[in-house]
Every structure is written in C-alpha cells, then in structure tokens.
C-alpha cells in the first residue's frame, strides 16, 4: 500500500526529540527517510514550525521546516519526497501588515513547487481563521491552488484559547472562499461531529486524521479506548464520503507502523487507497508536480 503522509512535522526542537523517543523513533531526517522506506510513504507534507527570521518585504515571515537545516527562502533544501505548508503566526499579523505578509508567503509559493499549502495554528494563536488579517493569505491560496490547513481541537499547551480551534470556525472561511480547499486537521478532535458536519456541508472542506494517536500503541490502550475508536468510525461512516479524509501522522509524535495499522482499521478496504494516497493528491494538488513520474 502506497502512502502519502499529509500531516507531519520536520522541526528541530527539544520537545520533539523526547516525543520521538517515546514513539520508538528519532527526530532526525535520516530516521524519517528510513520510516518512509519501511512503510512505503512515498511523499510527506511537513507543517511549518520553525521561524524564518529575515523578512524580505517587511511582513511576518512564514514558519518553515528545519530538521535538515539550513532551510530558508534562499535554500529550499527539503528532501525530494517532501512538501511543506507555510505556517502562519497570526498573533503577529495585523490588517496593516497582512499584504506584506502575503508577499513573504508568495515568495515561497512562486519559487518552490514543494511549497504545497498554508497552515494556520488556531488555538495556539488567539485569532479566528476567518479574521480580516488572513484574507490576503486566502487570496494567495486561491491564486496558487494550495489548500489552507487549520489546527483544530485539543492543543498541546495551555497558552491559547480553545474557541479559536473549533472546527465550525472553518465553515465561516470555507463559505466565503468557495475556490479554496480547507483541511480541518485532527478531525477537530474531540469535536468530531462538528468537523463532520462542516465537511458534509462545504464541498471545499476536507479532514485529516493526524494527531489522533501518540507514542507506541499497545493492545491495552486500544481495548481501553475501544469506545472512542468505534465513535470515530461511526462518524466517518456517517459522512459516507471517503474522498474527504486524508491520512496524516503528526510524526514525530506517534509510532508510524502503529498509526498506520490503527487508522487503516477505521477505513473500509475499498477506500483505503483514497484515504492513504489519492485524497492527498487531490487536496495538496502540487504534490503531483513533485512525485517521480512512476508513482503518479
Ligand atoms: Zn501537527
């Protein structure tokens, strides 16, 4: 089974080193390539986390990737089998600097085909997705045909406010920007029906299942959480549109073979190629230009 991991991280930070070890991996570029090889992950999309310090146009610079540093707007040196989403630091943005910020983002989109999307960190930033300051970034997403991904649901720290991370907030932006694809990351967990109703209503809204699991997954854990996984499966089946769901891991937070095994059990076999591969190509459509001809 070929896989595109539509949501992982490629970020050199101490916290990730520890989490990677708990998941049975190392947070290194070499380890990620080995995992890809062993699990037939032919492409992955890294969500930008690290700060690119040098603005070119006086805007807020995008958050990028740095596990195999240096990476910046002069050195697009990610692995050939990886794309990335530019991360948005919404708290630093204003309506006044929004256009210049969009110029910073456009530099990557126009110079690097591996730049495949824009990631918003709602719930870490205390701003709603559809805030006026974000509008030039939505225009950019439309122009370059890249999706907007939004963190939704639980957060990993206590700094932000949860109301900004609610999946229903994606409906506001998706309704006003019908030409842009939106991805509700983490299926809004645990606001799962709210993510489902948004994807059901809005043709341009998709869902990724990254971050549903952490570490190594034991049979005891699966038995204890059997009710949760049945609930998740029920709502996925309720939507009954298997073109809406994307596989993602949130690596390095989870053991990859465990993550694949558990998520695979939620998807009927005849839809697994959509879930693990085809849907990512449709949503993150620039991936098609990055894949070697043989794998398209
Ligand atoms: Zn993530």
User: In the chain, pLDDT over 70 holds for what percent of residues?
Assistant: 98
Residue 156: alpha-carbon gap to chain centroid: 15
Per-residue tokens: 282 = 């449709």
Count how many residues are written for the chain.
Answer: 296
DSSP, res 72: B
Q: Distance between CA atoms of 21 and 271, rounded to whole angstroms?
A: 32
What are the residue boundaries of the structural domains of the chain, listed by start? 3-295
Q: What protein residues have CB closer than 5 angstroms to ion ligand 1?
A: 250
Helix 29-39 vs helix 256-264: angle between axes, to the nearest 10 degrees? 40
Q: Are strands 63-64 and 50-51 parallel, antiparallel or unpaired?
A: antiparallel
Query: Which pLDDT score is estimated for 224?
Result: 98
Helix 168-176 vs helix 192-201: angle between axes, to the nearest 10 degrees? 20
Whole-number Å distance, alpha carbon 250 to ligand 1 midpoint, is 5
Tens digit of pLDDT for each residue in 36-53? 999 999 999 999 999 888
Residue indicated by tokens 């991370």: 165
Q: Where are the beta strands (DSSP E) in 55-158?
A: 63-64, 82-88, 115-120, 148-150
Whole-number Å distance, alpha carbon 6 to ligand 1 midpoint, is 10
3-295 CATH, one of 3.20.20.140, 1.10.150.120, 3.30.390.50, 3.30.750.24: 3.20.20.140
Whole-number Å distance, alpha carbon 155 to ligand 1 midpoint, is 10
User: In the chain, pLDDT over 90 holds for what percent of residues?
Assistant: 90
Whole-number Å distance, alpha carbon 47 to ligand 1 midpoint, is 7
Whole-number Å distance, alpha carbon 7 to ligand 1 midpoint, is 6
Whether residue 237 is predicted with pLDDT greater than 90 in this model: the reply is yes
Lowest mean pLDDT segment, chosen from 18-32, 111-125, 196-210, 282-296: 282-296
Per-residue tokens: 111 = 């110079």
Whether residue 296 is predicted with pLDDT greater than 70 in this model: the reply is no
Whether residue 294 is predicted with pLDDT greater than 90 in this model: the reply is no
Mean confidence (pLDDT) of the chain: 95
pLDDT band at 155 (very low <50, low <70, confident <90, very high): very high
Query: Which pLDDT score is estimated for 125?
Result: 96
The mean pLDDT of 164-171, rounded to a whole number, is 98
The structure's pTM equals 0.97
């Amino acid at each position: 089974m070929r896989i595109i991991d539509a949501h992982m991280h490629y970020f050199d930070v101490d916290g990730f080193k520890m989490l990677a070890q708990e998941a049975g991996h190392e947070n290194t570029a070499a380890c990620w390539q080995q995992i890809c090889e062993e699990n037939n992950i032919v492409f992955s999309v890294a969500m930008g986390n690290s700060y690119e310090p040098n603005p070119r146009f006086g805007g807020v610079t995008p958050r990028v990737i740095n596990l195999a540093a240096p990476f910046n707007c002069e050195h697009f040196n990610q692995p050939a089998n990886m794309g990335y989403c530019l991360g948005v630091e919404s708290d630093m943005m204003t309506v006044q600097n929004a256009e210049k910020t969009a110029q910073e983002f456009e530099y990557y989109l126009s110079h690097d085909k591996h730049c495949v999307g824009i990631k918003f960190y709602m719930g870490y930033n205390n701003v709603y997705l559809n805030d006026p300051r974000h509008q030039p970034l939505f225009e950019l997403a439309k122009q370059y045909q890249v999706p907007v991904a939004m963190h939704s649901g639980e957060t990993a720290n206590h700094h932000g406010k949860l109301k900004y991370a609610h999946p229903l907030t994606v409906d506001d932006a998706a309704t006003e920007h019908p030409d842009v694809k939106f991805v509700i990351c983490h299926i809004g967990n645990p606001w799962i029906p709210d993510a489902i109703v948004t994807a059901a209503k809005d043709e341009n809204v998709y869902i990724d299942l990254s971050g549903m699991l952490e570490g190594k997954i034991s049979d005891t854990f699966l038995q204890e959480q059997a009710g949760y996984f049945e609930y998740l499966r029920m709502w996925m089946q309720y939507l009954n549109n298997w073109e809406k769901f994307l596989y993602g891991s949130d690596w390095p937070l989870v053991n990859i073979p465990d993550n694949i095994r558990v998520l695979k059990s939620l998807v009927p076999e005849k839809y697994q190629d959509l879930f693990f591969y085809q849907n990512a190509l449709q949503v993150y459509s620039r991936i098609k230009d990055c894949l070697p001809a043989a794998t398209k």
